[in-house]
Amino acid sequence: MTNIFILTLVIGLFVIMFMVAPILIGIFVYKHASKHPIGQPLQWALICALTPLYIGLMIYMVKIDEIDSKIYEENELNKRT
């Protein structure tokens, strides 16, 4: 009985990690990219959801950080003038 429970738990974690998580990541990235000037939100959502080992999400986070930094710097320069 214990072996069946452990096997079911492992399969459930596998499904969550490799099937549900990418869908949730895609939804999050689509909504987030829609609010930022990063380009096509659908393109970023698909990249983040379909690349293995969450590499697409890491690339998105680096790219959005660069864009947010540029916007912050522009706002600081505008405040000084």
**pLDDT tens, position by position, 17-51:** 888 888 999 999 999 999 988 889 999 999 999 99
**% residues pLDDT > 90 (the chain):** 43
Mean pLDDT, the chain, rounded, equals: 88
pLDDT digits (tens, 9 = 90+) for 61-70: 999 999 888 8
Q: Is the confidence at residue 72, as pLDDT, over 90? A: no
Per-residue pLDDT, 18: 83
Residue 56 CA to residue 45 CA, distance in Å, equals 9
What DSSP string runs through 8-54? HHHHHHHHIIIIIHHHHHHHHHHHHHHTTTSS-HHHHHHHHHHSGGG
Residue 51 CA to residue 46 CA, distance in Å, equals 8
Tokens at 74, concatenated: 């522009």
